[in-house]
């Protein structure tokens, strides 16, 4: 297992500078953000232009990673593949294809995305629509030697009432995804606020985890007693403010990292554990983000054999 991080936490920094910093601070891998450059959305970045990627770009990036002895673990484009607007949905699907092509040129094993959801339809209706859309993407990825991995992020901000906006939030839905040929980018933090034990949920499915993310979560049960599971009823303008939890870097929340990593090892996982830094305490200025990554490294390094 290798320890890395997702580059989206440093959206304004060039990939070459991120790679240099990562290597200097002991990280062994990077999960590279590959969103299209379409405005300033939180927790996204465009460190690889997948939509215009060339073999020359691939050679340059391979040389960069080789020079720092880093692994490029995955291309990250987490967006709504079931977007309610047909044109936007097509654009998301097409960009997944572009990421698959870029990953194949780079020799990267996985591309990460979301199932997503049409919030105006039932879960059952969305699942049937996904069963129409994803086989083409899965087959295309397979032809290129790439696995599509779905993060189990709830994406409650995509639903007007804070209900799941990405239909990959439970082991029941993981089994449905696996039947479509999709793999899991496992993140324990989202399971915690859903009331699911992240270690028990992981244990039966380690063989379908092609990539893993390390994000922590700090729970405030006394606030949940006021708001209930969906969080604040009159939603805040900040979609990340749900009232009773917040994401943290590993070591500053409630995830049992010893249990998670031990379960990954026991199940034979030998991929990359990638820190996803969305911690508001250690966010903002790049220097603070770096400190957050160093906290995560200090927490995880003793648990991940180098």
Each residue's pLDDT expressed in tens, for the chain with a length of 306 residues? 999 999 999 999 999 999 999 999 999 999 999 999 866 677 899 999 999 999 999 999 999 999 999 999 999 999 999 999 999 999 999 999 999 999 999 999 999 999 999 999 999 999 999 999 999 999 999 999 999 999 999 998 888 888 899 999 999 999 999 999 999 999 999 999 999 999 999 999 999 999 999 999 999 999 999 988 888 888 777 766 788 999 999 999 999 999 999 999 999 999 999 999 999 999 999 999 999 999 999 999 999 998
- CATH classification of 2-300 is 3.20.20.150, yes or no? yes
Q: How far apart are CA 237 and CA 242, in angstroms?
A: 10
Identify whether the C-beta of residue 276 lies closer than 8 Å to the C-beta of residue 242. no
Domain ranges of the chain: 2-300
pLDDT reported for residue 63? 98
Q: How far apart are CA 98 and CA 112, in angstroms?
A: 12
Identify whether the C-beta of residue 264 lies closer than 8 Å to the C-beta of residue 202. yes
For helices 15-24 and 55-67, the axis angle rounded to 10 degrees is 20
pLDDT reported for residue 42? 78
Helices (H) and strands (E) in the chain, counts: 10, 10
pLDDT reported for residue 241? 77
For helices 123-143 and 86-106, the axis angle rounded to 10 degrees is 30
Q: What are phi and psi of 4, to 5 degrees?
A: -140, -165
Q: How far apart are CA 171 and CA 205, in angstroms?
A: 9
Residue located via tokens 């890395």: 4
Nearest by Cα to 191 from 182, 200, 183 = 200
pLDDT reported for residue 243? 85
Predicted TM-score (pTM) of this structure: 0.96
Residue located via tokens 């049937």: 128
DSSP reduced 3-state for 162: coil
Q: How far apart are CA 133 and CA 152, in angstroms?
A: 19
Helical (H) or strand (E) element with 302: none
């Amino acid at each position: 297992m290798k320890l890395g991080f997702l580059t989206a936490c440093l959206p304004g920094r060039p990939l070459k500078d991120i790679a240099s910093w990562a290597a200097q601070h002991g990280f062994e891998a990077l999960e590279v953000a590959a969103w299209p450059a379409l405005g300033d959305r939180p927790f996204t970045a465009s460190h690889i232009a997948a939509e215009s990627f060339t073999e020359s770009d691939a050679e340059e990036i391979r040389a960069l990673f080789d020079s720092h002895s880093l692994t490029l673990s995955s291309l990250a484009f987490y967006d709504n593949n079931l977007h309610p607007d047909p044109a936007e949905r097509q654009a998301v699907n097409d960009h997944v294809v572009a990421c698959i092509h870029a990953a194949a040129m780079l020799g990267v094993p996985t591309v990460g995305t979301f199932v997503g959801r049409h919030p105006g339809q039932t879960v059952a209706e969305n699942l049937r629509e996904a069963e129409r859309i994803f086989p083409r993407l899965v087959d295309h990825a397979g032809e290129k030697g790439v696995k599509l991995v779905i993060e189990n992020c709830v994406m409650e901000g995509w639903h007007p009432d804070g209900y799941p906006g990405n239909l990959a939030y439970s082991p029941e839905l993981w089994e449905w995804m696996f039947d479509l040929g999709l793999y899991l980018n496992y993140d324990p933090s989202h399971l915690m606020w859903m009331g699911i034990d992240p270690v028990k949920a992981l244990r039966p499915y380690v063989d379908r985890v092609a990539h893993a993310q390390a994000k922590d979560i700090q729970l405030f049960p006394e606030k949940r007693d006021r708001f209930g599971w969906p969080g604040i009823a009159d939603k805040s303008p900040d979609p990340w403010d749900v009232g009773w939890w917040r994401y943290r870097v590993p070591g500053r929340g409630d995830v049992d990292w010893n249990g998670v990593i031990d379960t990954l090892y026991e199940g034979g996982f030998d991929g990359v554990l990638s820190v996803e830094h969305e911690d508001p305490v250690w966010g903002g200025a790049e220097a603070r983000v770096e400190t957050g990554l160093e906290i995560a490294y200090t927490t995880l390094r003793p648990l991940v054999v180098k």
